[in-house]
Amino acid sequence: MTKVIAVTGKGGTGKTAITTLLIRYLTNKDNLVLAVDADPDTNLPETLGCNVEKTVGDIREYMLSERDNLPPDINKESILESKVYEVINEMPGYDLLVMGRPEGPGCYCYVNNLLRGIMERLVENYDIVILDTAAGLEHFSRKLIHDVDDLIVVTDGSRRGLQTAERIRDLVDELDTHVGNVYVVANKVNSSNREKLKELAIDLDLELIGTVPVDEEIANRDLVGTPLFDLPESSAALNEVNAIAKRLGL
């Protein structure tokens, strides 16, 4: 059975950094991982150190613009599947699929319906699927991924951040997607706000599964745009993410 983990949170909270370090942990443990960047503001390839040329969004547009030029009896699902496989980045130990740009005007019902089936079959090839997804969770409302085992909401070290986490948890209840557990990870935490955050989480009835410390090395790399995948073992953030992964039973 493939385990599906989704990491979400507002822009700037560091959810992509956390996702990257989780992928690193999982591949080091010899899991075959499918990483999905489902945030239209695509950052995951950069933090992983992958060079992505095309996205699922591009294929979707291709299918919309080309479909009338295709032979009438050609199997469109089969074309779409092949194109999805073409845009998968095959990295050592993991594959990366970037969803890319959001839908334009026009009707995406049919192509999304085909994509659902393709994703379902693709997901089964992996031990773990990990999604980096925007706070709006659109890909879930479109049911491209319909079951999530663990949803990790990343927040910054603020009260507002935790309130966002609360909202996302409530949003999950409205989705058709089946979500097993919702956890919160507070990122960029320092010694002065750690205890306060823990109390707040209890107040808001959120399961805080980790507090990732501010990490100078990550901040520096973010500034120049170098990958985070190869952070040194000594990184405090890396060690806390590894501990979170263990707590999640990964």
Residues contributing to the site for another protein (CB under 8 A): 32, 64, 67-68, 71-79, 81-82, 85-86, 90, 92-93, 95, 105-107, 109-111, 113, 121-122, 124-125
* HSE-up of residue 229 (Cα within 13 Å, Cβ side): 19
CB of 22 to another protein, least distance (A): 20
CB of 175 to another protein, least distance (A): 15
CB of 85 to another protein, least distance (A): 6
| Rounded Cα distance, 9 and 183, in Å | 11
Q: 20 Cβ partners below 8 Å, 6+ apart?
A: 44, 47, 48, 227, 228, 229
C-alpha R_g of the chain = 18
Q: Do 129 and 19 contact (CB within 8 A), yes or no?
A: no
Judged by beta carbon, residue 89 or residue 193, the one nearer another protein is: 89
CB of 4 to another protein, least distance (A): 16
| Rounded Cα distance, 102 and 58, in Å | 10
φ/ψ region of 100 (left if φ > 0, alpha if ψ in -120 to 50, else beta) reads left
Q: Do 208 and 197 contact (CB within 8 A), yes or no?
A: yes
CB of 111 to another protein, least distance (A): 7
